[in-house]
Amino acid sequence: MAQIVLFHYFPRNSILHDMDGRVKLICMILFSVVISLVQSIPSFIILTAGLILITLLAARLPFITLLKDMKYFSILILIILLVNSFVIPGRPIPGFPLPGVTIEGVMTGLMASWRLVLIIMVCAIMTGTTSLITLKNVVEWYLRPIPLVPETRIATMINLTFVFIPVIFDTVSEMLSAQKARCVEGRRNPLKRIMFIAFPLLVQTFRRTEELILAMEARCYSDDRTRAVFATTAKDWLILAFSVLFLAVILFYPF
């Protein structure tokens, strides 16, 4: 069975892999903020094209495989589209069999779904080009100047969250393959199919969490860790400046 690619780290020799994690996190936040603020379709098209180029050229990640793994968010995207289609008031769609669906609602739902896909792409680029230990050290570095904040503990919690996200996706993929082999997907009741995934997934997640806790306790894990050393180069600042310029044009230029 093929492994889920989304949110996995891929060791590569690329521009983003060699980039300082602190600057990379700033770029990720800037992209996410701009994606949340833009409203026009041309801005979405430019952002999508830019992220595709970043994925293929700057990060050298398997874009087609990442795109296929988006199917695990299809239910969430469908819910966003349906809710907006019925909730947003506007002009009804002529000849549409379901009453209450408006043109403005469908357009709003499509934009919200598109926005979600772009944010997932940004997260996939960040996790695909940054190792988990580097991501933990970056978060710890940013939290260290804040008083009364246990930066190491918070960074460890965030790190463990990113550890379990791909594990959960891999577990779901294994369960779907097992159900397909047992012809469970042929059942007509979709609620039963969801239950056959949800309950075993919770059991597997809690079991692996307990194993991880025991492993950390066995290795005497503590918050007293050696601090990571970062080095920012001129290339990192150049990438940051280009990202700010690119996003500022998208955000403020009237497309």
**Tens digit of each residue's pLDDT (9 = 90 or more) over 159-176:** 888 778 777 877 777 777
Tens of pLDDT, residue by residue, the chain (255 residues): 445 677 888 888 999 999 999 999 999 999 999 999 998 899 999 999 999 999 999 999 988 888 888 887 888 898 898 888 888 888 888 877 777 788 888 899 999 999 999 999 999 999 899 998 899 899 999 998 988 888 888 888 888 887 787 778 777 777 777 777 776 655 566 666 677 777 888 888 888 888 888 888 888 777 777 777 888 999 999 999 999 999 999 988 876
Q: How far apart are CA 6 and CA 67, in angstroms?
A: 9
Q: How far apart are CA 210 and CA 162, in angstroms?
A: 16
In a domain, 55, yes or no: yes
Q: How far apart are CA 20 and CA 114, in angstroms?
A: 29
* 92 three-state secondary structure: strand
In a domain, 7, yes or no: no
Report the domain count for the chain: 1
State the sign of the Cα–Cα–Cα–Cα dihedral 103, 109, 112, 115. Answer: negative
What's the pLDDT score for residue 29? 94
In a domain, 12, yes or no: no
What's the pLDDT score for residue 212? 82
In a domain, 6, yes or no: no
What is the residue range of 176's domain?
A: 21-252
In a domain, 121, yes or no: yes
Q: How far apart are CA 29 and CA 23, in angstroms?
A: 10
State the sign of the Cα–Cα–Cα–Cα dihedral 16, 22, 28, 31. Answer: negative
Q: How far apart are CA 144 and CA 157, in angstroms?
A: 15
Residue with tokens 């994606």: 35
In a domain, 134, yes or no: yes
In a domain, 175, yes or no: yes
What's the pLDDT score for residue 203? 84
In a domain, 45, yes or no: yes
Q: How far apart are CA 137 and CA 143, in angstroms?
A: 10
> What's the whole-model pTM score?
0.81
User: Which pair of structure tokens corresponds to residue 159?
Assistant: 């790190």
Distance from CA of residue 206 to its chain's centroid? 22
